[in-house]
Amino acid sequence: MTLKLFDPMLMIGISLAIVFLMPIWKALGGKKLAWAVSVLLYAFNTLFMIGVAYRATLYPEGLIIKIGGFKPPFGIVLHVTFWGAVLSTFVWFVAFLSIMYASTRYDAEPADVYYALLTLLALGSSGMFLTGDIFNLFVFTEITALAAFGLSAFMKKKGTAYATIKYIIMAEVASAFLLVAIALLYGKLGTLNMLDAQQTLKTVGMTGAMVLSVLFFLVGYGVEAEIFPLNLWAPDVYKYVPEEVIALFISGSSKAAAFAWLRMWVMVFGVPQKMLQTMLWIGIVTFAFAEVMAYSQKSFRRALGYASLGQAGLVFVAISLGSELALKAAFLLMINHILSEAILFYIAGNIGEDGAPANVRIPLVFGFLGAVSMPPFIGFWGKIFLFMALAKAGYWVMFVLIALFSIVEIAYMYKWFISLYKGTGKMDLVRSFSPIMLTLVSFAMWFMPFVPKIMDLLDLAIKPFLQKGVM
């Protein structure tokens, strides 16, 4: 009975109410109160989403939450899966760390607007993780995108303006494609509910219109999921935008778009075998392109940006493969990516002339190890699973290519590590809180595979997405 209280709608409703009240908070207590309210909200939401994730473990096929009390295909539903709930927890956690980090930032004005945008970015991505309706997914995508635009241009510098306008143009063209995809899907299947669409599609089959719809969904989510060649906006954004925002982009909008692709490609369309090869190659090219570009970068922020694109490519390969092992790999790689890249970006904002600050050396080591998916980091298991999945499906060329470019990744990451490690600077105490917290979490994560129950959790995470009859 008490578990029923962990209704994600409660989280979304309360968060929205608090964001809407932002002008009032500001009038009552200035930006200090706006900050305090946001911090409390993020902390509360993180804990709340842990509760939701626990509740989701009790529903192997995913928890359906009806909105407005209408029967599923007719009203909007949330389809809360363990996977989505976990990622959503991470979003709020990173948002919490980011706002702590941003508390020493005085150049973000007006501050209350800044906090509101951070909240809405986190909220939009967690909506994308939780929703079970195709059009609702689009609405949340747009919320996430607009919050991302606002945050990305917020500093009003030369670089941010330039990076943001490229981002906006690409994302807006993508959203037009997304709507065309929805029009095709709705016209053909006559439903907007994901699970219902999945069932209807089985009787209809992958006709020409559906193939087009898949392609447009790919374009639509590819921009935010950072798929080549739609990811050309990303390196500039990653270079110029403040690091706490980037941490949130990585855990929020980019992961949410990848998750949306998972929903459409694996859940609704059921991994159409005809298009599988193409998707895998797109992912591989994304990975290879990003790693090669990262290798030749002279600025650490930019190298990190490209490394992050590479990770997105790997996640895309894993999702597109869509087999049981591959989905497990995608789950682990996503979490690994959030943790390691967020640590590195938090530190990257504080790098001086001589290298990284001395008091965050341990998080730095962890961040680098995570970025190349080495133990002690759960990305290690993710990559192993991905290799196993590729081998099992018989894609040996891709196996070799991924291994090859992983070595490139290790090479340049090592280079940066050597040049940064010996730094003597000092990171401000408030700011170093964020990378240290993340390091603790990732350290705890490493022990997870040794806990006997954890493999069950992995099975549980991918269960709602597996269709009978797919591999």
CA distances from 137 to 76, 79, 217, 232, 428 (A): 10, 11, 12, 24, 39
* Sequence-separated (6 or more) residues with CB below 8 Å from residue 116: 19, 22, 34, 38
CA 91/CA 326 separation, integer angstroms? 23
Closest CA to 426 of 347, 368, 343: 347
Position 187 contacts other proteins (CB under 8 A)? yes
Contact 258, 104 (CB under 8 A): no
Specify the residue, 209 or 292, whose C-beta has the smaller distance to other proteins.
Answer: 209
Which one among 39, 43, 180, 276 touches other proteins, defined by CB under 8 A?
Answer: 180
Shortest distance in whole angstroms from residue 112 CB to other proteins: 9
Shortest distance in whole angstroms from residue 207 CB to other proteins: 6
Position 223 contacts other proteins (CB under 8 A)? no
The DSSP secondary-structure symbol of 266 reads I
Specify the residue, 142 or 459, whose C-beta has the smaller distance to other proteins.
Answer: 142
Contact 163, 241 (CB under 8 A): yes
Position 278 contacts other proteins (CB under 8 A)? no
Beta bridge pairs of residue 78: 65, 131
Site for other proteins in 119-178 (CB under 8 A): 120, 123-124, 127, 135-136, 139-140, 142-143, 145-147, 149-150, 153-154, 156-159, 161-162, 164-165, 168-169, 172-173, 175-176
Shortest distance in whole angstroms from residue 156 CB to other proteins: 6
Q: Which stretch binds other proteins (CB under 8 A): 106-114, 335-343, 347-355, 374-382?
A: 106-114
Q: What are phi and psi of 452, to 5 degrees?
A: -60, -35
Which one among 73, 272, 425, 449 touches other proteins, defined by CB under 8 A?
Answer: 73
How many residues of this chain interact with other proteins, rule: CB under 8 A?
82
* Sequence-separated (6 or more) residues with CB below 8 Å from residue 61: 463, 464
Position 191 contacts other proteins (CB under 8 A)? yes
Q: Which stretch binds other proteins (CB under 8 A): 48-56, 112-120, 277-285, 372-380?
A: 112-120
Specify the residue, 154 or 465, whose C-beta has the smaller distance to other proteins.
Answer: 154
Position 274 contacts other proteins (CB under 8 A)? no
Which one among 50, 59, 72, 186 touches other proteins, defined by CB under 8 A?
Answer: 186
Contact 98, 434 (CB under 8 A): yes
Q: Cα dihedral sign for 331, 332, 335, 338? A: negative
Position 40 contacts other proteins (CB under 8 A)? no
Position 455 contacts other proteins (CB under 8 A)? no
Shortest distance in whole angstroms from residue 234 CB to other proteins: 14
Label residues 218-255 b or e (16+ Cβ within 10 Å = b).
Answer: bbbbbbbbbbbebbebbbbbbbbbbbbbbbbbbbbbbb
Position 23 contacts other proteins (CB under 8 A)? yes
CA distances from 427 to 87, 355, 433, 435 (A): 28, 11, 10, 11
Position 3 contacts other proteins (CB under 8 A)? no
Specify the residue, 16 or 401, whose C-beta has the smaller distance to other proteins.
Answer: 16
